[in-house]
């Protein structure tokens, strides 16, 4: 394994542990990837069914653009690898992260009929790449969940094509996907969107009304 892979794998494992501690990746949920090479595409990918609080750098797999394992591991990559690969291709992302938080699960359901929800007027939005002011309006699309990963990848591809500026999306009653140029930026985006979801969710409770 090249040095760069080991550094990336270490970083992936450390982010996974942090997410698990926050309750964003309980029960082996959540998955993480980062681009190791573009041509041909090689991705560092978290294995399937592993406790994210116990994940080690040694367990991180290397997969190709068909989600086949090309490192010397006998483990299975995350079932959702095709979604990661699609996002990398559509967005030119260097890293893709997926969390299952209480708030993203709840809001992905509450706003499902609207096809998404928006955040507006929050300073926190400035942390999203390319956003310069809190006056920005960020649309977070919500997609129906599915167990057909290839169909879901296509549906994600379509959504990303329609919402060129989106920094993430929700799968209904499933979780949040976000990405970035590298792992640090993808982690930043996840933290920001999780923060905004919780702020909007808790605000809903006050008046049982949608955020205006």
Q: Does 74 bind a second copy (CB under 8 A)?
A: no
**CA neighbor of 15 nearest in space, from 193, 189, 197:** 189
Applying CB under 8 A, which of residues 138, 174, 176, 179 lies at the interface with a second copy? 174
Q: What is the distance between the alpha carbons of residues 64 and 80, in angstroms, rounded to a whole number?
A: 14
Q: Does 138 bind a second copy (CB under 8 A)?
A: no
Q: Which is nearer to a second copy, 87 or 107 (CB)?
A: 107
Q: What is the distance between the alpha carbons of residues 183 and 174, in angstroms, rounded to a whole number?
A: 22
Structure tokens at 61: 């797999």
Strand order through the sheet with 61-63: 61-63, 42-45, 31-37, 95-99, 175-180, 168-171, 137-143, 116-120
Q: What are the beta bridge partners of residue 42? A: 37
Q: Rounded to a whole number, what is the largest CA-CA distance in the chain?
A: 54
Applying CB under 8 A, which of residues 143, 177, 180, 194 lies at the interface with a second copy? 194
Q: Does 115 bind a second copy (CB under 8 A)?
A: no
Q: Does 212 bind a second copy (CB under 8 A)?
A: no
Residue 211 beta carbon to a second copy: minimum distance, rounded to whole angstroms: 10
- Other beta carbons within 10 angstroms of residue 192's beta carbon come to 22
Q: Cα separations (Å) of 103 from 52, 77, 133, 197?
A: 19, 26, 25, 6
Q: Does 204 bind a second copy (CB under 8 A)?
A: yes
Residue 39 beta carbon to a second copy: minimum distance, rounded to whole angstroms: 29
Please give the helix or strand (H or E) that residue 53 lies within, else none. Answer: none
Which residues between 41 and 60 bind a second copy (CB under 8 A)?
Answer: 51, 53
Q: Which is nearer to a second copy, 65 or 198 (CB)?
A: 198
Q: Does 10 bind a second copy (CB under 8 A)?
A: no
Q: Does 167 bind a second copy (CB under 8 A)?
A: no
Q: Does 187 bind a second copy (CB under 8 A)?
A: yes
List contacts with a second copy (CB under 8 A).
Answer: 18, 22-23, 26-29, 51, 53, 100, 102, 105-106, 109-110, 121-124, 127, 132-134, 145, 147, 171, 173-175, 184, 187-189, 191-192, 194-195, 198-199, 201-208
């Amino acid at each position: 394994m090249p040095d760069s892979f080991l550094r990336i794998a270490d970083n992936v494992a450390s982010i996974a542990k942090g997410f698990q501690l926050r309750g964003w990746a309980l029960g082996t949920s959540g998955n993480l990837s980062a681009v190791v090479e573009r041509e041909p595409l090689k991705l560092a990918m978290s294995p399937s069914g592993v406790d994210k609080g116990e994940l080690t750098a040694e367990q991180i797999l290397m997969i190709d653009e068909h989600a086949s394992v090309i490192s010397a591991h006998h483990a299975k990559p995350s079932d959702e690898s095709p979604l990661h690969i699609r996002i990398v291709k559509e967005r030119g992302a260097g890293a893709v992260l997926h969390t299952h938080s209480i708030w993203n699960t709840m809001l992905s359901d509450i706003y499902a009929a609207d096809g998404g929800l928006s955040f507006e007027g929050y300073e926190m939005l400035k942390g999203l790449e390319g956003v310069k002011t809190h006056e920005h309006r960020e649309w977070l699309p919500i997609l129906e969940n599915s167990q057909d990963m290839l169909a879901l990848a296509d549906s994600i591809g379509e959504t990303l094509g329609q919402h060129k500026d989106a920094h993430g999306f929700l799968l209904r009653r499933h979780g949040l996907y976000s990405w970035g140029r590298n792992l640090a930026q993808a982690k930043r985006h996840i933290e920001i969107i999780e923060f905004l979801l919780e702020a909007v969710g808790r605000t809903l409770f006050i008046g049982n009304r949608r955020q205006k």
